[in-house]
Structure 1
Amino acid sequence: MKTWMRCVARRVRVRVRVRVRGDAGMTTSEYAVGTIAACGFAAVLYKVVTSGAVSSALQSVVERALDAQF
């Protein structure tokens, strides 16, 4: 096999290997951004659940459930 053919064949094999393998997972920066987003969402959810309106609504639901007669 000629030298240039081996070079072309090697490039094709490398490209096929890269495309087949694909992306194996998230990088460290993606994990960091995901963690920060999850913490922000948790903080907003905590504030909503502990607010007066939501707290009283949850309390009334629990009271109605406990007072229900089966």
Structure 2
Amino acid sequence: MPEPILGQGGRGSFPDPEPAGDRAARRADARRRRSNARIIRHRQDGVPGGEAGMATAEYAIATLAAVAFAALLVAVLSSGEVKGLLMSLITSALNFG
């Protein structure tokens, strides 16, 4: 068993059993493998290239539908019959107390 080398603070540490270049190469290989695995996972989970813009088109259609519904609601609420009904409801609520 090799003798510990005394470093800062008096704690002993053993010399590295391998050269620093081998350790750096192993770290680089491990980092490359993790990166490749991450890219493969992303491609498997992602949307195929031909359908990448579908979310934008769906948002546009939903926005148009919401605007059309709002226009219909404004048209209904601004009709004379509905205005009279709402005004009588509000007047009776205010005069109740």
Name the TM tier (shorter chain). 0.5 to 0.7
Other-structure match for 1:44:
72
Structure that is richer in helix per residue: 1
Unaligned runs of 5+ in 2: 1-39, 48-53
Unaligned runs of 5+ in 1: 1-12
Structure 2 residue 79 is matched with structure 1 residue 27: no
Structure 2 residue 78 is matched with structure 1 residue 58: no
Cα separation, 2, equivalents of 1:32 and 1:55:
32
Other-structure match for 2:8:
none
Output the aligned Cα RMSD: 2.0
Amino acid at match of 1:47: A
* 4+ long deviations beyond 3 Å: none
TM-score, with length taken from structure 1: 0.62
Give 1 or 2 for the bigger CA radius of gyration.
2
Cα separation, 2, equivalents of 1:47 and 1:66:
26
Structure that is richer in strand per residue: 2
Residue 27 of structure 1 aligns to a residue in which SS?
Answer: helix
Amino acid at match of 1:58: L
Aligned length: 50
TM-score, with length taken from structure 2: 0.46
